[in-house]
Chains A and B, each alone.
Chain A
């Protein structure tokens, strides 16, 4: 018995509280920005747990701070931050990483390898691009609705990617999957600053009703392998997302004489089938609902409803074609067609030397089906009623 107690105490004492670290000795980084300039990376960390001055009423209030470090490698840059921060940098709770265009052009792998190797990073954060701005500035803009900027960016990406159709949220694991597997190239969403980025980084930015600067989700940036190529426009972004089945809802704005009709589609589903030659059939279907009508149209007539459906389907086809065109122009398979082909016809895929070249010859057969099963809360449009009254 004495022996057991002796051994047990040895285990406990020799362990020496391995890995022990008080939480308040950490600088908790929730966002990270990577810029690339003059062959050097600049890594910025958004640290969320710096307490407000002791005069603040609630002891749980906090403010954020952005520290940067420079280096040829990401690791060196992060170590440089350690020289500034009095606390140990903790990256287990990163929620978003912003890459500048130049860093993305230099290759995603060079920027992200560190995070894959580091055991303490959780690998479920989002990755996005800064469109036209420094990534550091995007990370620094303060916003009134959420506690700290990185959370704003991550929440924004999470909540709107289903609604707008032009936005996609990509997390680290998904991105790694796309980078490693054959026949698929990644797309990442962009963030753009509107307003004065210097003023936006101040805390006064959240104390006014009209913030001097804000960050807004923009369109998709497309990649070939791990290198950034170009930005897609809104319609192209939508097309890419439709083909990748990344949207649940999509609004479609249609012209009708003297006004517009807006349709919101729900349960947007896309199925892709591929034949042995690599030709693809894209089959999108969804249920639509008329949300806004500003023209004189008789919505009680079935023929008119059919006409609107047709129009909407054509519009969606246009989106899809725009997406395909962009991908073909840039010789990059953004849709994972190659991966699907590889999975279904592995031998044939091996015969193709360069999939991205082959991708350009692929024929797409697009089928879209939208069912308008709801015409909104009122049967007849307000515009028509007002016009009828005038007569």
Chain B
């Protein structure tokens, strides 16, 4: 609806629109025979900026257009615009703008006077690293964009903004480097995001749900990170990032299986060490999924492949435990999950009580009471520790679900069930696709360049090519022998 020429009418209308909410501030000023009215939301605006803007440059003798250009010339560091309908005005008000109405003009001047409603840039808490940049995204959209901008000073770094959410009108930015990323994929993602019609977007998790909607898999198909350096490294690989207003978590597409065995600091370590860590995480992935199932299969169906000494030790340890092996394992898998959940959400003060419950009561006392055999505690410990090497929470959850499926299959058919489940598992993994890239790339389909880039971590000087499944522009580095420092 267009705004009217009467100041009072405008102010009243906006107030009513928001049911006279307590944080709306309106004022009408008369000076030199001219009347102006202004309105802002004190909850999202900065008082200093408002008085500065009003004091410094209000000259009521000017006409609307002159005033607008004068304000534009006088106030350098704020966004100034005009606006002529109520819907936009309320968006501006919520974003921390002040709206200026001038008598007899059916146009309003909006000027950005927002206060900083966020914490500063602090070290990442969910992805801590030992070596490398420590800053992380915040809830402030502009800062988040800035954290990327300052790392990649390239005109081809594009931020395409879409406002999503009928009520929240959240800014969602699709970020990519124009001449590296596959533009058609970026376009697809933007179209998908534009199609989202929902009341509100509060976190990037909402967006990923819409982007992954076709998949029934529990495995994550996008990387979720709060580290700008991870986003930038992905952008330079040709991936596409999505920044969502009011959340520190950016998402990166496509997220392939191999990306989840990476750690942010792999890029900052010596190549050999990073490669070793990646293989270790790959081992941990399988350890976390199959160890309990393998134990159940061997103990209840196929004891013949356990070495003599171990077999007798296992058998003696299990003596007197009333539950079947599989139930015993399942009980402890679930107890560990409960412990994890409790630990994540408990404040640090109750941490020591948690430790005592976890370590003493569930471990030692359960063994002494004959509820569980010591070897099961060891199995669960190995499994749980292996699962915790991953950064991505969704990956951990996926591992957890498959682990239970594996235990159930071992419980029913022993090693045969275990191997069948392994086949189903690999089949399932291989059939996942993320924006046109098979999930197991570069292992299957095999890509040598991909293996060099993602499974191994070669020296930078050897990584001259980008993965062709991510980017059409595959030249990462031009080899120039003359620039070699050592020569």
Contact = CB atoms under 8 A, between A and B. Distances in A.
Interface string A42-82: 00000011110000000111100000000000000000000
A95 interface: yes
B412 A23 contact: no
B304 A92 contact: yes
The B contact surface, by secondary structure, is helix
Given A15-B412, A23-B325, A51-B319, A28 B300 contact: no
Interface string B285-314: 000000000000001110110001101111
A17 B411 contact: yes
A19 B321 contact: no
A24 B319 contact: yes
Contacts of A60: 313, 316-317, 374
A17 B312 CA distance: 23
B316 A59 contact: yes
Interface in B367-405: 367, 373-374
Given A17-B411, A59-B317, A151-B308, A23 B367 contact: no
A59 B374 contact: yes
Contact of A22 (B299, B308, B317, B374): B299
A20 B301 contact: yes
A60 B300 CA distance: 19
Contact of B303 (A15, A23, A59, A62): A23
B144 to A, nearest CB: 43
A127 to B, nearest CB: 17
A120 B414 CA distance: 16
Nearest to B367: A59
A60 B374 CA distance: 9
B412 A28 contact: no
A30 interface: yes
B414 A20 contact: yes
Contacts of B314: 23
Given A19-B414, A22-B325, A24-B319, A62 B304 contact: no
> What is the size category of the interface that chain B forms with chain A?
20 to 34
A21 B374 contact: no
A26 B414 CA distance: 17
A383 B320 CA distance: 64
Nearest to A94: B308
A22 B311 CA distance: 12
Contacts of A148: 312
A207 interface: no
A172 interface: no
Interface in B401-417: 411-414
A30 B413 CA distance: 27
A93 interface: yes
B324 interface: yes
B315 interface: yes
A345 to B, nearest CB: 42
Contact of A21 (B300, B311, B321, B411): B300
A60 B312 CA distance: 9
B321 A24 contact: yes
Nearest to A30: B308
B227 interface: no
A48 B301 CA distance: 20
Contacts of A145: none
Nearest to B413: A15
B363 to A, nearest CB: 13
Contact of A28 (B315, B324, B373, B413): B315
B281 interface: no
Nearest to B321: A24
B308 A51 contact: no
A122 B304 contact: yes
B221 interface: no
A49 B312 contact: yes
Contacts of A18: 413
A352 interface: no
A28 B318 CA distance: 13
Given A92-B303, A92-B304, A24 B311 contact: no
A12 B301 CA distance: 15
Interface string B132-163: 00000000000000000000000000000000
A147 interface: yes
A17 B417 CA distance: 10
A71 B445 CA distance: 63
Given A19-B414, A51-B316, A51-B319, A28 B301 contact: no
Contact of B315 (A12, A24, A95, A147): A24
B134 to A, nearest CB: 46
Interface of A: 12, 15, 17-24, 26, 28, 30, 48-51, 59-62, 90, 92-93, 95, 120, 122, 147-148, 151
Q: Please provide the 7 A-B residue pairs with the shortest distance between their CB atoms, ordered closest to farther.
A: A24-B318, A49-B315, A92-B304, A62-B316, A24-B319, A23-B315, A51-B319
30 contacts: A12-B412, A17-B411, A17-B412, A17-B413, A19-B301, A20-B300, A22-B299, A22-B324, A23-B314, A23-B315, A23-B318, A23-B325, A24-B319, A24-B320, A24-B321, A26-B315, A28-B315, A49-B315, A50-B316, A59-B373, A59-B374, A60-B374, A62-B312, A62-B313, A90-B303, A93-B303, A93-B308, A93-B312, A148-B312, A151-B309
Given A51-B319, A60-B313, 5 more contacts: A17-B413, A49-B315, A93-B312, A147-B309, A151-B308
